[in-house]
Amino acid sequence: MNKHRLKAFTIIEVTITMLVSAILIGITYTSYSIVSKSYRSFNVKNDDMAALETLDGLLKKDFIKAEIILKDSTGISFNSPGHIVKYIFAPDFIVRTSGITDTFKIATEKINTSFEKQPVNEVNLSDEQNRLDELDIDMIFQNEKIPYHYYKQYSSVNLIQRNPNAVN
């Protein structure tokens, strides 16, 4: 009888190796799941913040460029020579129309409009009674209220055109 010994792994060694591999695969999968959830959460928060910043920038720009700001039945209208921008404020979104329509999925809670510190709550018949120079709005971001305040400083020419007797 010729006795040859083959070099091989025992069943115990193979079992231990498989057990260690299973533990490492489990740890890797759990780590990947945690990192993946964190990345998705970061992207959602980042996209929401980008929408909020974009809306804030557009409102600031529209307040500066507008010749007159009016409250209308659907929201607020920014009128410039040859250009009108409209905003519609709903509880769960804000729509901006200026040739193209932008919809911002931003929740709002409180919207106050005023002219010369007098609240403009209802739409009146004349544009002068609907004129605005301030907008206060609470926007909801990550379940927190963020107050925004916008103010339009009208030029003296614009105000004199509004009331020609103001010069006298």
Question: How far is the C-alpha of 23 from the C-alpha of 163, rounded, in Å?
Answer: 81
User: Are the CB atoms for 106 and 58 separated by under 8 Å?
Assistant: no
Q: For the whole model, what pTM was predicted?
A: 0.76
Strands (E), the chain: 68-71, 75-80, 83-89, 94-98, 100-104, 107-115, 118-119, 134-141, 144-151
Condensed to tens digits (0 to 9), the pLDDT of residues 109-148 reads 889 999 888 888 888 877 778 889 899 999 998 889 999 9
pLDDT greater than 60 at residue 63: yes
- At 166 the pLDDT is 53
Question: How far is the C-alpha of 105 from the C-alpha of 66, rounded, in Å?
Answer: 24
Enumerate the β-bridge partners of residue 135: 113, 150
Comparing CA positions, the residue from 110, 139, 111, 112 lying closest to residue 48 is 139
Amino acid, single-letter form, for residue 149: H
- At 7 the pLDDT is 83
What average pLDDT does this structure show over 40-64?
Answer: 93
| pLDDT band with cut points at 50, 70 and 90 for residue 1 | low
Comparing CA positions, the residue from 136, 165, 168 lying closest to residue 151 is 136
What average pLDDT does this structure show over 47-59?
Answer: 93
Q: Which residue has the higher pLDDT, 17 or 161?
A: 17
